[in-house]
Structure 1
């Protein structure tokens, strides 16, 4: 009884552990996607600021000043930094996706190999069962043949004994 409780505990532990790891994986994936989406939203806002800074002309006669151009360049550099961060995060996301895909493929291949092994074992056992059935049928035929020979031998011996008794009884008279 205690052993069955132990087995039940282990099976539940591994089942919940597997479910938890899958939830953690999908949670990590979702967090990475959220991070990328936030970076893209930040980039969009910064890009709008860049266009606004290009339209800003604070100089004499409505021209851009060096300060306006520097501000536009700083915003543009922020956009480039954000883009680089987005690319890094996308690489992480794609690497994660590739890892998950590789795991799924390896589990699929493992399951296929296991199923192939089961099929191979089943076919082997079927072949052995058919062979044993054929041997059993042959053994039954041989047993029947031996039974017929035994019956014939017993009948022959009884006939001989009867004949010997009859010959002795006729000589004795």
Structure 2
């Protein structure tokens, strides 16, 4: 019975090991604990059988039967200790995963906050640039208006100057 249980556990461990390459460390640890629980159940079945074994005279238990039962019980206790150890490792994996999720969430929150700050800064810069562009356009329009007034003024002055020159020429020609 022990050999069959051992072979079953070993095959379970090997099959879980080949499959574990694709699983996370958490899943591997869960598989180990499940194998240990299966081993404990098998040992407990052996213990029940050993308690009912009565190889002595008149159907009594012998010292050897009791020692065998005690050894199986000791192995169950050792398996229980290993289960507790592996459960502690499993809980540590779980805590590590929780910390990783918190770290990723915190990092993502910081990134989102930084993106928001950047977007707000760019929006403010866009508003400033739009205002500056409006001022430049208004200044350009004012410059065009001033240039138009200047050109019209130059044209009027040139006309008046030309008119005055003609009058002077006309008076000069009459005076001679």
Question: TM-score, normalising length from structure 1?
Answer: 0.76
C-alpha separation between the residues in 1 aligned to 2:21 and 2:69? 42
CA RMSD between the two structures? 2.2
Confirm whether residue 120 of structure 1 aligns to residue 117 of structure 2: yes
Query: In structure 2, what is the equivalent of residue 13 of structure 1?
Result: none
Match of 2:47 in 1: 50
Residue 27 of structure 1 deviates from its aligned partner by 4.2
Helix, strand or coil for the counterpart of 2:149? Answer: helix
Q: Which runs of 5+ in 1 are unaligned?
A: 1-22
Moved >6 Å (runs of 4+): none
Contact 2:36 2:83 in 1 (8 A): yes
Structure 2 residue 64 is the aligned partner of structure 1 residue 67:
yes
Other-structure match for 2:100:
103
**What does residue range 1-173 of structure 1 map to in structure 2 within 5 Å?**
26-173=23-170
Instruction: Please identify, of 137-146 and 68-77, the stretch whose mean Cα deviation from structure 2 is larger.
Output: 68-77
Count of aligned positions? 151
TM-score between both structures, scaled by the size of structure 2: 0.74
Name the CA distance, whole Å, in 2 between partners of 1:54 and 1:139.
101
Change (3 A) 1:143 1:24: farther
Larger Rg: 2
* Aligned 8 A contact 2:40 2:76 in 1: yes
